[in-house]
Amino acid sequence: VHRFTTIDTISTLINHFESLYRYSIDTESDQFINALSLIQVHSIPQHLSSFIVLFELNHLPSSNTLLFEKNNLLFRFLFRSGNTIFAWGSMNTELQSVIHAFPGWYSGAQPFCKVCCPVQLLTTVMSSNYSCTCSNASPYLNPGEKWSLQNAMRYTANFFLDKSATRKNWSMVLDPNYSSLSSYEQRKRIYYAIYDSFAVTFLHQAIYDKLSLIQLREAELISLFTSNAPPHSSSLSS
């Protein structure tokens, strides 16, 4: 979404987000100007389809245009009272930060192995050699330490999340129709932004549905990108 986005596109997004109340959100900052440049929002509907919207903050429309008014309405739907918004990292206190809930969930989601399964639990606890080798250990010594999103995806889903674009110039337009970036660089940054949003949604579903690692890895993807939470009514503040 930027100053060249069509009214029809914004209207489609408004219609989609008007009836939704759960989202994942991520952001990218431009390291060269030390400013927030991109907001990624992933809708979590009860039934697919869902959208990932990239708001290019340095290229939004002028305040005296209809497109600006439409953008403003879209943001009001996204951040209205009653919405549940998930994020990774430090966000506003009204948002639910997945990073704080992840360490406790990961510790309790480990699968049983021959050493720690309930049948042999009494014997193994009495043994001085008690240990568990059923899954990858945490890369952090402190059990409550905050995980990076990359490590969280690696240890839960064996998925490599490429973070090489983190320190890019995010002030540049990403839309292929208007960007001065090469096609390769456009795709790399867009996929980076999209996969970060997917990862937050993926992990929030695992945590809040209290899935074990085995359940998570065997789950259908559609169940991880939709919400079982009942819809509720909410209104925009004037």
Rounded Cα distance, 68 and 62, in Å: 6
Bigger pLDDT: 168 vs 199: 199
Average pLDDT over residues 192-214: 91
pLDDT digits (tens, 9 = 90+) for 33-83: 878 899 999 999 999 999 999 999 999 999 999 999 999 999 999 989 889
Which of these, 96, 51, 92, lies nearest to 204 by C-alpha position?
96
Q: What's the token pair of residue 1?
A: 């979404």
- Edge-to-edge strands of the sheet including 22-30? 52-56, 35-43, 22-30, 84-87, 96-97
Q: Residue written as tokens 């001085």? A: 128
Mean pLDDT across the chain = 82
Domain ranges in the chain are 7-224
CATH of domain 7-224: 3.30.420.10
Is this model's pTM higher than 0.85 or not? no
Q: What percentage of the chain exceeds 70 in pLDDT?
A: 80
